Amino acid sequence: MFEQLTTLSPDPLLGLIKRFAQDPRPEKIDLGVGVYRDDSGQTPVLAAVKAAESQLLQSESSKSYVGPAGNLEFCSAMAELLFGRDLSAKLQARVASLQTPGGCGALRVLGETIVRANQKARLWASDPTWANHLPLLGSAGLQINNYRYYDFAGHGLDFDGMMSDLQQAQAGDVLLLHACCHNPSGADLNQQQWQQVIELCQQQNLVPLIDVAYLGFGDGLDEDAYGLRLAVERLPEVLIAVSCSKNFGLYRERVGAAFVISENAASAQACFSHMASITRAMYSMPPSHGASVVAAILDDETLAQQWLSELTQMRERIQSLRSQLRQSLADELGHDRFAFIEAEKGMFSFLGLDADQVQRLAEDFGIYMADSSRINLAGLNSGNLAHLVSSLKLML
């Protein structure tokens, strides 16, 4: 039967990893896949993670199944991180949550849950959005529409375009939002814009699906949770997909969680039963290790403080790279065309290059980025920033 299959080209982002690895030039720079790197270009295991892992090695007494919801301490620790202690306690009966293999697992489980609840629901995704949102949520059977979000010419949010496109959304449609550090643009909603978006959801009966992949990478843990907290305070139904890949540096451990906040306890219970039956049919149960590490960190005051300070270091390094890149480009080019880079949040920004320029940067200078010219700022460091700036100067 397999003669029926033709070979697909690799996923564009994951394909970049291979192209970069095959490039022999020592000055090459990887600004592709969204993985945090330190100034030496490494993606280290956080010290808080190492400490929690060595505790677990001593204390873990069984490798028996964790159950469909995964690690319950992890789920409630994630709820406190997302909603804060008071709101989390207030919401409790309305929340259905389960641990998932990464944020991708959460998105897929939530996509399937939406389809079970409302086969007519359409999903509205920002244009652009993270490339994998479309296959993850589309494969669940959701019809996907786009709303304007990023104005490439103006290098900023097209909020009027967004609000105007969303007028066409119908009651019961799902609105995909990025909690913070919008991937791929780095352009986030401000607090006032979040309020307007939540009001629009109230008026039109839309259900937000909030992807929380970079909590703590924007302005801070509480600051980055502003929009999602407002949504769960004001709206009867909210879906949330969380990833611990970036903020805990646990990429390969696949740690995430899916949350459904519904109107009441009965409906939360029904949602949970569907989420559990969806995961049972897909992968049965989540893996244990990464979620146990996160639970152990958040449950221990000292480890939690250590993690917070490591998260702060990662955030501040990215913010400082944003300022350095803007400044170096302004100095070299003699104009401030890239000022927007400093104002954007999280790991990504678009350089605003066309596909030809992106290809030339890879071929002529060994600088790799997504075709859209999205760069991962964390791929820059004190040894390679000047190479990017001088290469851009030659090209622009």
Q: Which residues are catalytic?
A: 130, 211, 213, 246
Provide CB contacts within 8 A for 126, sequence distance 6+: 146, 147, 149, 150, 162, 176, 177, 178, 182
In the chain, how long is the greatest CA-to-CA distance? 62
Closest distance between ligand LMR and the C-beta of residue 357, in Å? 20
* Cα separation, 284 vs 3, whole angstroms: 30
Residue nearest to ligand LMR (CB): 34
List the interface residues with ligand LMR, window 11-40 (CB under 6 A): 13, 33-34
φ and ψ of 243, to 5 deg? -125, 140
Among 76, 118, 132, 277, binds ligand LMR (CB under 6 A): 132
Closest distance between ligand LMR and the C-beta of residue 323, in Å? 22
The percent helix, strand, coil of the chain (3-state, each to 5) is 50, 15, 35
DSSP string for 135-189: HHHHTTT-EEEEEE-EETTTTEE-HHHHHHHGGG--TT-EEEEESSS-TTT----
**13 or 396: whose CB is closer to ligand LMR?**
13
Note whether 205 binds ligand LMR by CB under 6 A.
no
Among 36, 130, 194, 338, binds ligand LMR (CB under 6 A): 130
Note whether 134 binds ligand LMR by CB under 6 A.
no
List the interface residues with ligand LMR, window 146-185 (CB under 6 A): 183
**42 or 170: whose CB is closer to ligand LMR?**
42
**130 or 365: whose CB is closer to ligand LMR?**
130
Note whether 373 binds ligand LMR by CB under 6 A.
no
* Cα separation, 330 vs 355, whole angstroms: 23
Paired strand residues for 207? 174
Count of positions on this chain that bind ligand LMR (CB under 6 A): 6
Note whether 145 binds ligand LMR by CB under 6 A.
no
Note whether 100 binds ligand LMR by CB under 6 A.
no
* Cα separation, 255 vs 245, whole angstroms: 6
If you search the block for the tokens 């490591």, which residue do you land on? Answer: 310
**14 or 45: whose CB is closer to ligand LMR?**
14
Under the rule (CB under 6 A), what is the footprint of ligand LMR? 13, 33-34, 130, 132, 183
